[in-house]
Amino acid sequence: MKSFGSKKSTSRRVTKPTKRLPILPSSVTGIPPNPYFLFISMIS
């Protein structure tokens, strides 16, 4: 029972960040602007 509760807590904790993960890295890492800059640099 103790293990199950721990697993449920972890699953809930992982689900929260996972939902925000796609938006956070995209904005912080700058994945969309990176390739865009490369494309402009190549055309230039």
> Residues 1-44: pLDDT tens digits?
555 555 565 555 555 555 555 555 545 555 555 666 777 777 76
How far apart CA 36 and CA 43 sit, in angstroms, is: 11
Q: What pLDDT is attached to residue 41?
A: 75
How far apart CA 20 and CA 25 sit, in angstroms, is: 9
Q: What pLDDT is attached to residue 43?
A: 75
**pTM across the whole model:** 0.22
Q: What pLDDT is attached to residue 5?
A: 54
Q: What pLDDT is attached to residue 6?
A: 56
